Amino acid sequence: MSKVAIVTDSTAYLPTELVEQLNITIVPLILILGEKSFEDGVDILPDDFYRLMENSKLVPTTSQATMLSMKNAFEGLLEQGFAVLGLFLSSRLSGTVESALQARAMIQKGQEKISIMDSLATTMALGWPVLTAARAANAGENLVECQKLAEKARDQTGVMFVVETLEYLHRGGRIGGAQAMLGTILHVKPLLELQDGRIESVEKIRTKKQALSRMLDLIEEKIGGRKPVRLATVHANAEAEALSLLETARQRFNPIESLYSPLSPVIGAHAGPGTVALAYMTGV
Q: Which residue blocks in the chain are alpha helix, DSSP H?
A: 16-21, 46-54, 67-79, 96-106, 123-138, 143-155, 167-171, 208-223, 239-253, 265-271
Assess whether pLDDT exceeds 90 at residue 182: no
Q: Which residues of 29-56 are buried (b: 16+ CB within 10 A; e: fewer)?
A: bbbbbeeeebbbbeebbbeebbeebeee
Whole-number pLDDT of residue 171:
64
Residue 178: band (very low, low, confident or very high) from pLDDT cuts 50, 70, 90: very low
pLDDT at 183 (0 to 100): 43
pLDDT in tens, 232-244: 999 999 999 999 9
The reported pLDDT for the residue numbered 51 is 87
Percent of all residues in the chain with a pLDDT value above 70, rounded to a whole number: 93
Rounded mean pLDDT, 196-204: 90
- One-letter amino acid identity for 173? G
The predicted pLDDT at position 186 comes to: 55
Portion of the chain with pLDDT greater than 90, in percent = 79
Distance CA(116)–CA(259), nearest Å, equals 25
Q: Determine the pLDDT at residue 177.
A: 46
pTM: 0.92
Taking each helix axis from N to C terminus, what angle separates 96-106 and 67-79, rounded to the nearest 10 degrees? Answer: 50
Ranges of H-type helices in 28-66: 46-54
Q: What is the mean pLDDT of the chain?
A: 91
Per-residue confidence band for 270, with pLDDT thresholds at 50, 70 and 90: confident
Q: Which of 86-90, 161-165, 220-224, 253-257 has the lowest mean pLDDT?
A: 161-165
